[in-house]
Structure 1
Amino acid sequence: MQVSTTTIKTILATVVSSTLLSGCYWDDPVKAAKYVSSKIESDDVVEHLEELEARASATSDGASVTRAAGTLGYKHSLDYIVETMQDHGYIVTTQEFDFRAWEELAGTTLNVDGSELIGVRNATDGLEADFSAMSYSGNSNGPLSGELVFITPDFRFESPDYDSTDGCEASDFDGKAVSGKVAVIQRGGCTFDAKVVNAENAGAVATIVFNQGNDEGRKSVVNGTLGSDSQATIPAFGARFDLGEQWYQTSQSAVVNASFSINVHDEVVLTQNILAETEGGNEEQVVMLGAHLDSVPEGPGINDNGSGTAGLLEYAVTLANLRAPVKNKVRFAWWAAEEAGLVGSEYYTNDLFAPLYAQAQTEIMQELEITDPSQLTSAHYDLIEERYLQINNIKLYLNFDMIGSPNYVFGVMDGDLSDTKNSPDNAYTGSFEPPFGTSDIESIFNQFFNGQSEATVPQALSKRSDYAGFADWGVAFGGLFTGAEKVKSADEMDKFGGQIDVAYDICYHQACDDLNNVSHKALFVNTQALAYVTTYYAFSDPLFPAEEPQPMMQAFSVNATEKLRVGTKLKAADSVSDHDHFHGDFDQDRD
């Protein structure tokens, strides 16, 4: 085939023009951020969602499709991401680890006081769900029954001595005659797993955890998980608050019985994280962003978290197509098994950062000629943390989890704690502060939204998504979130439109979380936002303003005698928040 001279000249002129046009942007982080984010196309992001839904595999009961870790749907999703990133010139690796894959099989039933209850998986045609099977629940091995026994519920929400720790201590079960019966426990105060394990140790044949009822966000069905490390073996269900309260009142004058059946598949399988990075950029100053790739077993997870997955992928494609000469290396991550309790991201952060911290400790001890770790003082640990933060090349992490909720808000992590310090959703209690740089990340996100004349709402740092491991290891973090099962307020409706007193995502963790469950506007704007902020830092040196405290570890200071040390697993908040587990009602409440 011959190409005319005119055609060649036209192509060259286009390339040169494009190079000159874009070249003037790369020397300024703000200009680069605006330029790259302006190249995001909404239809291209949605196309990735279509690809993800097409790759979901059938659930065990055939009622829906799923992309849960350990399934074919997840593998096909992973293959799509890997192939796309490789095609666009990224260095791609996968990180394999084993993971406890749990799935509820067909046929779960729960009958209380003669009423057959509606499970979350069967709540179709506008029916309100009454109960759910908790992830990592045990098998019933056929039909079982037992009398309901309440432990220490408390409905006095306004009382100064209100106790929200029902079932959190083994002693709560003393004198309750739970053996051979069904323990019914109110949510709050500790993990679901702690409540269920305590009930099992007391002899219960099953547990029902009903919602707490102290907040509008805690009245619907508890759709929770015991966590992949749970040792519980008995069936565990979650229920609505009003049902728990009703059963309790009935039990004060009559025996209330329950019958139930649950069949689950529970095995340890291999799964993989995806890591991809730019060829260019400063390797000692890595800008990292991530989203979890897996869904819950009940559905394809197109908002949760196909939206974050698609946003990252389209940004990566756009960055590659523009041949952006990033100053700092950009690393992308798609996490596996987030829905099981942040398993993939925790594996990555512990595997990477723990050896770096050990290296820093060894270096400082050798330099100070200290041979016994027991001789290390608080001042020595200050030096170790400073050295660790110097040799840790990952300088910030951005997290994108559920960025296209149909009844959305534009939520930005409150990095400076100025709006959420006293929120029950905030994990950084007292004088604890997030890592240095976290507040700057919030300001750059807000810079983008202000430029688009879009309102935002501050999101408390609850540590209930994949940024938790990075936060624990002293890495600055930020991110976006558009809401899950909590309902939209009147003030939020005024700012963002939508429906008042309706969940941000009415299909959260359900089979209906499909292509029809995504706001294209929210997905598009948030993908532009993640492109803006990531690009800003990809072209920034230094990353954060010099007037912020130096070195980075100083942001961990509490006072002269107390510090939030690097590597400390700061417990997630006692949250009444939306999206409240380690993303999916992993109730990590404080004691």
Structure 2
Amino acid sequence: MKTTTSIVAGLVAPVVAQYKPVVSSKELVGLVNTEELVAGAQDLYDIAKANGNTRAFGSPGHNATVEYIFEALVETGYYDVYKQPFVELYEDAQVDFSVDGVEYAARYLTYSPSGDLDKPLIGISNIGCTLEDYPTSVTGNIAFIKRGECSFAQKATNAKTAGASGVIIYNHLNETLSGTLGEPGDWLPTASVEYGPGQAILAQLSGSNSTTASLTIDVVQENRTTYNVIAETKEGDHNNVLMLGAHTDSVPAGPGINDDGSGTIGILTVAKHLAGFSVKNAVRFGFWSAEEFGLLGSYHYLKTLNGTLAGNATEVGKLRAYLNFDMIASPNYALGVLDGDGSTFNLSGPAGSATIQKDFISFFASQNKSTVASEYSGRSDYAAFLDNGIPSGGVDTGAEGLKTEEEAVLFGGEAGVAYDINYHLIGDTVDNLALDAFLWNTQAIADATARYALDFGDIPKPNQTTEARKRNVEKSRLRRALESVPKRVSGLGKRHGGCVHDVKTEL
């Protein structure tokens, strides 16, 4: 593990006590309690409230979050802890949008430029995925395009080719939409509206021969230095490492206490209690930054660990399993376990992922809890580990997708309503957390940590041949390219396609 550019605290930590009992699932799980979880979530919310109600990467709120995590881990004296700095482009925008004087909430698509337009709004027939869909009247005006069937980038490219001056994409599904144009480019000012406003605007278009839209997008871009926090047990076999991860940043629009303060506090709580035990296999915790901007922290970590994304087999091969925790306390939750064997979504993880899935399901079953499968969509930080062939798993409770009738029977709550109605919004506060799911999922984290800290069972070492790593990278890229409509998965369809855990490139 490279630490030459990192801020290291392992040498100044207190001396670890010489005798500690061997970790056991029963004892570690038994230490997890709701009061401690709520207190940790409240700490993160207090940080957000003191810093503009956000913990977006590189902001004062996120920097304070990093310090909070770092200090808590150092205080245990049990870990070698370091901050891993990196620089990434931060982008946000203010959007004002109205149609014939009626104002509507709108979001810009990532990589959209700034713009100030006051032009006729032209409805696009079909779905806007071919040039033939665009009438000549769109020239110089704003194209109003339905979401679906092709990428936002393709729609925006077609609109520009047809001569439009701006683009509004309206959601055809009654759920939250955050989107991206995929990469920097010579784009038109592009924004999106939700299903309700979209239907209202369609009614305005159908009832008028001339409909004028005003669209103002004010984009802020700046390079920001931010930090991952990495902590590894001082004891244990450092050639056979269990790694757990959660992201520490919120979206700019809110405090991010479920997304992903819940995962952050979940693994931090387990890390603090693990310090009272001895382990056979080393345990490493990764607290990722800039997840909401495209899984940037976790990918940076793997790249520096390797030298290149699919490079140094030695360091990557030490990671026997990676467990990811992104949104584990959604208010209208379903208890999801990543589909390691691919039996539900036909997208399996590297060898050993099925065992991780089975072990999580077994733990929940032992607590008389049902689970459902979550897809490896590439929408959270496990994506970088999948790319490197590392067996991966985790639990989540859903994001912007809608709860099914079957899930409402299994878990209660309301079918047809988002798992988290405050997903990526200002309302993602401590009051947004389902405390029962928060407790159960953190107990599942504790069980998995104790289990694999002693024995990886039949989880094989990652296949780190050059060809295998290349296949894993391509397979994961294909997996992310296949992502389309929102699914009941952790995180957002981030820039990577969610937890950026929210930004979609397609459909």
Write the letter of the residue equivalent to 1:577. K
**2:367 matches 1:452:** yes
**Contact residue 437 and residue 544 of structure 1 kept, 8 A:** no
**Contact residue 360 and residue 448 of structure 2 kept, 8 A:** yes
Write the letter of the residue equivalent to 1:112. V
Return closer, same or farther for 1:176/1:100 CA change in 2, 3 Å cut-off. Answer: farther
CA distance in structure 1 between the aligned counterparts of 2:49 and 2:124, rounded to whole angstroms: 41
**Contact residue 148 and residue 257 of structure 1 kept, 8 A:** yes
CA distance in structure 2 between the aligned counterparts of 1:236 and 1:403, rounded to whole angstroms: 32
CA distance in structure 1 between the aligned counterparts of 2:265 and 2:462, rounded to whole angstroms: 35
Write the letter of the residue equivalent to 2:379. R
Cα deviation for residue 333 of structure 1 reads 0.8
Larger radius of gyration, structure 1 or 2?
A: 1
| 1:416-470 deviation digits (Å, cap 9, x = unpaired) | 111222xxxxxx3xxxx42111100001101110111011111111111110111
| DSSP-derived class of the 1:75 partner | helix
CA distance in structure 2 between the aligned counterparts of 1:172 and 1:346, rounded to whole angstroms: 39
Matches within 5 A, 1:158-557: 166-167=128-129, 171=131, 176=136, 178-200=138-160, 202-211=162-171, 213=172, 218-226=173-181, 229-231=183-185, 234-241=188-195, 243-244=197-198, 247-248=201-202, 251=205, 254-320=209-275, 322=276, 324-353=277-306, 355=308, 357-358=310-311, 388=313, 392-421=317-346, 428=347, 433-540=348-455, 543-545=456-458, 552=463
Cα deviation for residue 37 of structure 1 reads 1.3
**2:103 matches 1:116:** yes
Instruction: Give the structure 2 partner of residue 101 of structure 1.
Output: 90
Within the candidate set 100, 108, 112, 1:133 is matched to: 108
CA distance in structure 1 between the aligned counterparts of 2:230 and 2:132, rounded to whole angstroms: 45
CA distance in structure 2 between the aligned counterparts of 1:457 and 1:111, rounded to whole angstroms: 41
Return closer, same or farther for 1:487/1:135 CA change in 2, 3 Å cut-off. Answer: same
| 1:148-177 deviation digits (Å, cap 9, x = unpaired) | 2344534xxxxxxxxxxx34x6x4677645
| DSSP-derived class of the 1:263 partner | strand
Write the letter of the residue equivalent to 1:180. G
Return closer, same or farther for 1:225/1:65 CA change in 2, 3 Å cut-off. Answer: farther
Instruction: Give the structure 1 partner of residue 11 of structure 2.
Output: none
Instruction: Give the structure 2 partner of residue 425 of structure 1.
Output: none
CA distance in structure 1 between the aligned counterparts of 2:369 and 2:462, rounded to whole angstroms: 34
Write the letter of the residue equivalent to 1:353. N
Instruction: Give the structure 2 partner of residue 373 of structure 1.
Output: none
**Contact residue 402 and residue 419 of structure 2 kept, 8 A:** yes
| DSSP-derived class of the 1:99 partner | strand
TM-score of the pair, normalised by structure 1: 0.74
Cα deviation for residue 103 of structure 1 reads 2.6
CA distance in structure 2 between the aligned counterparts of 1:133 and 1:446, rounded to whole angstroms: 39
Worse-superposed segment, 90-99 or 572-581: 572-581
CA distance in structure 2 between the aligned counterparts of 1:97 and 1:390, rounded to whole angstroms: 20
Instruction: Give the structure 1 partner of residue 487 of structure 2.
Output: 577
Return closer, same or farther for 1:358/1:80 CA change in 2, 3 Å cut-off. Answer: closer
**Contact residue 286 and residue 395 of structure 1 kept, 8 A:** yes
| DSSP-derived class of the 2:409 partner | helix
Return closer, same or farther for 1:338/1:358 CA change in 2, 3 Å cut-off. Answer: closer
Cα deviation for residue 206 of structure 1 reads 2.2
Return closer, same or farther for 1:187/1:585 CA change in 2, 3 Å cut-off. Answer: farther
**Contact residue 126 and residue 133 of structure 2 kept, 8 A:** no
Return closer, same or farther for 1:194/1:454 CA change in 2, 3 Å cut-off. Answer: same
| DSSP-derived class of the 1:34 partner | helix
CA distance in structure 1 between the aligned counterparts of 2:89 and 2:309, rounded to whole angstroms: 27
Cα deviation for residue 201 of structure 1 reads 5.6
CA distance in structure 2 between the aligned counterparts of 1:208 and 1:356, rounded to whole angstroms: 36
Write the letter of the residue equivalent to 2:335. F
Cα deviation for residue 209 of structure 1 reads 1.3
Cα deviation for residue 243 of structure 1 reads 4.3
Worse-superposed segment, 531-540 or 497-506: 497-506
Aligned residues: 477
Gaps in structure 2 of 5+ consecutive residues: 1-16
**Contact residue 353 and residue 473 of structure 1 kept, 8 A:** no
Q: Between the two proteins, what is the percent identity of the paired residues?
A: 36
CA distance in structure 1 between the aligned counterparts of 2:268 and 2:161, rounded to whole angstroms: 46
Within the candidate set 89, 112, 121, 1:148 is matched to: 121
CA distance in structure 1 between the aligned counterparts of 2:431 and 2:293, rounded to whole angstroms: 25
| 1:545-581 deviation digits (Å, cap 9, x = unpaired) | 27x7x98479x99xxxxx9703323341223414434
**Contact residue 92 and residue 277 of structure 1 kept, 8 A:** yes
| 1:492-517 deviation digits (Å, cap 9, x = unpaired) | 22211223332211111111111111
Write the letter of the residue equivalent to 2:168. I
**Contact residue 151 and residue 172 of structure 1 kept, 8 A:** no
Return closer, same or farther for 1:519/1:249 CA change in 2, 3 Å cut-off. Answer: closer
**Contact residue 353 and residue 392 of structure 1 kept, 8 A:** no
Instruction: Give the structure 1 partner of residue 472 of structure 2.
Output: 566
| DSSP-derived class of the 2:395 partner | strand
**What's the Cα RMSD here?**
2.9
